[in-house]
Amino acid sequence: MHDYKAAANALENKTILITGAGDGIGRVAALTYAKHGATIILLGKTTQKLECVYDEIVNLGYPKPAIVPLDLRGATKQNYRDLAATIEQQFGKLDGLLNNASILGSLGPLEHFCVSTFENIIKVNVTAQAMITKYMFPLLRKSPSASVVFTSSGVGRQGREFWGPYAISKFATEGMMQTWAAEVGKTNIRINCINPGATRTSMRASAFPGEDKDTLKTAEELMPTYLYLMSESSNDVNGQSIDAQPK
Ligand code: NDP
């Protein structure tokens, strides 16, 4: 799937919700999915960033997106219920959910982690993803073919020193994906994980400040895998954790 070539209209008539759509990989996924015909619901923390992505999509002549400013750290059941009601009213169904937003927190020994940082990371990276998936589920059931994609990491598959609560949150993401996937079985909904691998974004720069960013893949280079999992070419793929970069 690293060399997957999606048809120009591969996502036509699909409505896809992307968390963390204002920056980094989420922003590029939003532009890419819109380019392939999807209507994108751009969810993120910073309204101004979402508005920039909105403008880019509209200026390129892609389907008009929607904006949902929401800080996942403080989001409540009612926020998710309201979001589901608005999507139901405007679109009637949801065909894709890209659970992409995450925070890194600070790196360091687990022995010294700060409890409030730990709680924030779990809230944004785990609890919010679980809740948004739960509350979107009735809308995903209404799609003829729905895809939920969680975002993992290499440190969510093999423990690595000093990656602290972030690594723990990504192990939880892998487990959440597997549990959801086992429960849905063979239905109209498939649930998988992407591990983007080292990618040129601000999160990567904060983890590796001294790194030469030109040695890293860009988010654009990952998009064949992101397109594959959101398009109907992956209809039979469920419960997989897939690398967006070849090994
Ligand atoms: P960025 O930090 O560049 O972007 C993260 C996005 O998530 C931003 O749009 C940010 O919004 C949003 N976000 C953060 N906190 C919240 C919040 N509380 N509420 C709502 N939105 C929020 O990260 P990347 O693009 O690099 O990462 C995307 C995904 O890929 C993450 O899940 C990350 O863990 C994963 N990943 C990335 C790798 C990499 O090398 N880049 C490697 C492995 C995994 P705002 O800008 O408004 O804060």
Q: Which residues of 214-235 are buried (b: 16+ CB within 10 A; e: fewer)?
A: eebeebebbbbbbbbbbbebbe
Residue 186 Cα to ligand 1 midpoint, Å, equals 30
Provide the pLDDT for residue 73. Answer: 97
Fold of 15-243: Rossmann fold (3.40.50)
**Residues 6 or more apart in contact with residue 150 via CB below 8 angstroms:** 99, 129, 173, 174, 176, 177, 191, 192, 193, 194
Q: Is 55 in the pocket of ligand 1 (CB under 6 A)?
A: no
Nearest residue (by CA) to ligand 1, atom 24, is 24
Q: What do you get for the CA distance between the two ends of the chain, in Å?
A: 13
Any ligand 1 atom below 6 A from CB of 206: no
The DSSP symbol for 199 reads B
- Tally of CA atoms within 13 A in the half-sphere of 73 that contains its CB: 11
Mean pLDDT per 10-residue segment, the chain (247 residues): 93 98 98 98 98 98 98 97 98 98 95 94 98 98 98 96 96 98 94 98 96 97 98 97 93
**Active-site pick, 33, 166, 226, 228:** 166
> Is 54 a catalytic site residue?
no
Domain ranges in the chain are 15-243
What type of residue sits at position 124? V
- Report in angstroms the alpha-carbon separations of 239 from 64, 229, 235, 242: 31, 12, 12, 10
Provide the pLDDT for residue 80. 98
How many Cβ atoms from other residues are within 10 Å of residue 162's Cβ?
13
pLDDT of 166 reads: 97
Q: Tell me, what's the pLDDT at 69?
A: 98
Residues 66-79: b if buried by 16+ CB within 10 A, e if exposed:
bbbebebeebeeeb
Cβ of residue 63 lying under 6 Å from some atom of ligand 1: no
